[in-house]
Amino acid sequence: MTSLLASFSLSVGDWLLIVFCAMLIGMSKTGVPGVSMIVVPTLALIFGGKQSTGVLLPILIMADVFAVIYYHRNAQWNHLLRALPWAFAGLFLALWIGNLVNDEQFKHIIAITVFVSVGLMIWKDYGTKREFTPDSWWFAALMGIVGGFATMIGNVAGPILAIYLLAMHLDKKSFIGTTAWFFFIINLSKFPLQVLVWKNINLNTLTIDILVLPAIALGAWLGIILVKRIPEKAYKWFVIVITVSSAFLILI
């Protein structure tokens, strides 16, 4: 065990940050979206960009399991199935050009997409007094492709999916349940690709992931408790504020 972990040369401060990140991931998966956005740059600082995604993905999958177990009955599969095929297309596109894409330009594209989508949704809901519920196939396709690309490149698809599901006006449990299943399916699909193609998941990274499992569980429990305390009407605005804040973090 010691020899496995020594290869990363992790300090006590690094371990504290990794545990904190694992807790935030658990919270984000059980209804507090966006709080995990600081995880991506933090782990990248510790492990490096591409290697950090190999450490993060199993943590995300373990947190997805907690979310799916608790909210599995609340998923809206009609919205999920509309976006999933396009998300897989975005995922494989990212896999293909993962070594060529300009990270900075793509971060700007994601952030602009989030800002425009939030602005359009708020304007349609409150400016024209009509709810914004885009039923056109292109909206699911756009959100799916960008979301799939974003999750493969940097695990930053949360804001994209949040906008897609908020536009469908789901209640908070349906929102969380649908999000949980979406990322559980997508993240499981990414696992063999990162093992075999990017080769950034190995025994060393998996050992670290298993050691922080208690922190993931604690974060998942805290997320469930917090969501119960947020009123249904306030939850949408809570997600919007966190999502917009997350988009700004993407640009950092």
Give the other-Cβ count within 10 Å of 60's Cβ.
26
CB 223 within 8 A of CB 36: no
Mean pLDDT by 10 residues, the chain (252 residues): 64 93 94 77 80 90 95 91 93 74 62 69 63 72 87 76 85 92 94 88 92 96 92 84 76 69
Residue 63: what pLDDT? 96
pLDDT at 238: 84
pLDDT of residue 129: 56
Neighbours of 21 (CB within 10 A): 25
According to the model, what pLDDT value does residue 82 have?
92
Instruction: Say what the pLDDT of residue 24 is.
Output: 93
Q: Domain residue spans in the chain?
A: 2-251
